[in-house]
């Protein structure tokens, strides 16, 4: 069994409370400090934030960006990496983390834990936290009477929400998914503004998670993201179309074109192919986990795409289906660009509606 190496960031928030803005998530009213206006204010009062990642350099994009964002917005925080020095060397050298430790059991008490590994490894880590009572007692110990929150940043939610049912009493898991990323992984591509203006979805299971959602929403709003809420089931089906299908289509397209054109032919390619296949550089291990944990919804999305391609394939000599699909596609892309333009500048006074 492959050993799961862990990378953790320990962030100690010591600044005082920030001015707040009103937010509404469904029926939940939230007071959010807006970190862009008050960069030294901490969104998580008391305790520590721990970000747990796997010990490979390609897994650092999200976790590394969170660490850089916290370092930029709350410079008084302390950041500790948990892993071998070889893995955290880049982060140490950049100043994103202050030092490295070799075990999650050596961390101080935590009030918020973020699992930032690929999906199935996040599930394994969550089960490890639930299973190892001695470790849980050490890591998941918070100031007395305060809820401990665990979240993740993975691309699917149903399986990890189910696995969270084994967490000890007093610990609340809220699935999370920041919709900010890149076509390449690794700390070299991490940046503090990765989440600015982007949605960050939470999928609470409804069992005592209102306070946890509030705390998490304050935190991600401080990183510039726009928190939103939906069920794990809604999330996985929607992401199958918005995220998982585009990734698979881009990778399949690049493989098809590359296999046919080869290196010599690709030299003739224009910007259209480059732009269309941007996602084809994504790491396979991350997407293998996503496919394995959302196979039913992704299968439905692939069937819909195959249906459209089949319609165009059978209409090459006439063009009616091609015209209809192109017309509809242009309309939906116009709608997409409107929403994309809105997301460029975070608005702390806007309401966040339950999805």
Across 53-64, average pLDDT: 65
Report the pLDDT value the prediction gives residue 134, as an integer from 0 to 100: 44
pLDDT at 109 over 90: no
For the stretch 344-355, pLDDT in tens is: 544 433 333 343
Q: How many residues does the chain have?
A: 355
Report the pLDDT value the prediction gives residue 297, as an integer from 0 to 100: 98
Q: Both tokens of residue 1? A: 């069994």
Across 165-170, average pLDDT: 82
pLDDT at 144 over 80: no
For the stretch 200-209, pLDDT in tens is: 999 998 766 8
Residues pairing with 226 in the sheet: 199
Mean pLDDT of the chain: 77
CA angle, 284 as apex, 101 and 275 as ends, to 5°? 115
More confident residue, 118 or 188: 118
Report the pLDDT value the prediction gives residue 176, as an integer from 0 to 100: 97
Listed ranges 135-139, 204-208, 303-307, 334-338; the one with the highest mean pLDDT: 303-307
Domains and CATH numbers, the chain: 6-230 (3.40.50.720), 236-313 (1.10.3660.10)
For the stretch 233-271, pLDDT in tens is: 999 999 999 999 999 999 999 999 999 999 999 999 999
Report the pLDDT value the prediction gives residue 31, as an integer from 0 to 100: 35
For residue 64, give the nearest of 114, 132, 5 by alpha carbon.
114
Lowest mean pLDDT among 15-19, 42-46, 311-315: 15-19
pLDDT at 128 over 60: yes
More confident residue, 34 or 271: 271
Neighbour count for residue 1 (Cβ, 10 Å):
4
Report the pLDDT value the prediction gives residue 103, as an integer from 0 to 100: 60
For the stretch 37-49, pLDDT in tens is: 334 445 444 445 6
Say what percent of the chain tops pLDDT 70: 67
Across 109-123, average pLDDT: 82
For residue 43, give the nearest of 218, 181, 180 by alpha carbon.
218
Residue 79 C-alpha from the chain's centroid = 20
Say what percent of the chain tops pLDDT 90: 43
pTM for the whole structure: 0.80
Report the pLDDT value the prediction gives residue 167, as an integer from 0 to 100: 85
Residues 6+ apart with CB under 8 A from 185: 58, 59, 60, 61, 282, 283, 286
Lowest mean pLDDT among 29-38, 96-105, 197-206, 304-313: 29-38
Strands 99-101 and 80-82: parallel
Q: What is the 3-state secondary structure (H, E, C) of the chain?
A: CCCCCEEEEEEECCCCCCCEEEEEECCEEEEEECCCCCCCCCCCCCCEEEEEEECCHHHHHHHHHHHHHHHHHCCCCCCEEECCHHHHHHHHHHCCCCEEECCHHHCCCCCEEEECCCHHHHHHHHHHHHHCHHHHHHHCCCCCCCCEEEEECCCCCHHHHHHHHHCCCCEEEEEEEECCCCCCCCHHHCCCCCCCCCEEEEECCCCCCHHHHHHHHHHHHHCCCEEEECCHHHHHHHHHHHHHHHHHHHHHHHHHHHHHHHHHHHCCCCHHHHHHCHHHHCCHHHHHHHHHHCHHHHHHHHHHHHHHHHHHHCCCCCCHHHHHHHHHHHHHHHHHHHHHHHCCCCCCCCCECCC
**pLDDT tier for residue 26 given thresholds of 50, 70 and 90:** very low
Find the helix packing angle between 119-131 and 284-293, rounded to 10°.
70
Listed ranges 90-94, 138-142, 213-217; the one with the highest mean pLDDT: 213-217
Q: Which residues of 260-293 are buried (b: 16+ CB within 10 A; e: fewer)?
A: eeeeeeeeeeeeeeeeebebbebbebbbebbbeb
Q: What is the 3-state secondary structure (H, E, C) of 230-295?
A: CCHHHHHHHHHHHHHHHHHHHHHHHHHHHHHHHHHHHCCCCHHHHHHCHHHHCCHHHHHHHHHHCH
Place of tokens 């949605």: 199
């Amino acid at each position: 069994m492959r050993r799961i190496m862990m990378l953790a960031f320990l962030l100690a928030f010591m600044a005082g409370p920030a001015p707040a803005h009103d937010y509404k998530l469904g029926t939940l009213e939230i007071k959010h400090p807006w970190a862009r206006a008050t960069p030294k204010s901490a969104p998580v009062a008391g305790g520590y934030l721990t970000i747990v990642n796997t010990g490979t350099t390609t897994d650092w994009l999200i976790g590394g960006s969170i660490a850089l964002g916290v370092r930029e917005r709350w410079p008084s925080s302390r950041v500790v990496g948990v892993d071998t020095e070889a893995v955290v060397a880049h982060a140490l050298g950049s100043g994103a983390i202050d030092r490295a430790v070799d075990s999650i059991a050596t961390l101080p008490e935590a009030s918020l834990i973020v699992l930032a590994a690929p999906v199935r490894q996040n599930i394994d880590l969550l089960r490890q936290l639930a299973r190892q009572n001695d470790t849980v007692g050490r890591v998941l110990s918070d100031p007395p009477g305060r809820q401990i929150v665990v979240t993740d940043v993975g691309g699917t939610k149903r399986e990890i929400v189910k696995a969270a049912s084994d967490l000890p009493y007093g610990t609340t898991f809220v699935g999370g998914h920041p919709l900010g990323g890149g076509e390449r992984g690794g700390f070299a591509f991490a940046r503090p503004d990765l989440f600015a203006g982007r949605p960050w979805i939470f999928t609470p299971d409804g069992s005592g998670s209102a306070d946890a959602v509030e705390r998490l929403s304050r935190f991600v709003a401080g990183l510039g993201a726009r928190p939103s809420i939906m069920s794990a089931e809604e999330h996985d089906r929607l992401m199958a179309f918005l995220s998982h299908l585009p990734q698979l289509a881009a990778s399949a397209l690049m493989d098809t074109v590359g296999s046919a054109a080869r290196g010599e032919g690709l030299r003739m390619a224009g910007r259209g192919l480059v732009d269309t296949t941007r996602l084809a550089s994504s790491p396979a291990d991350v997407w293998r986990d996503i496919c394995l944990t959302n196979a039913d919804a992704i299968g439905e999305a692939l069937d819909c795409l195959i249906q459209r391609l089949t319609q165009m394939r059978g209409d090459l000599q006439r063009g009616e289906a091609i015209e209809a699909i192109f017309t509809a596609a242009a309309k939906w892309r116009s709608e997409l660009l409107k929403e994309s333009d809105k997301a460029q500048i975070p608005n702390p006074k806007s309401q966040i509606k339950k999805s």
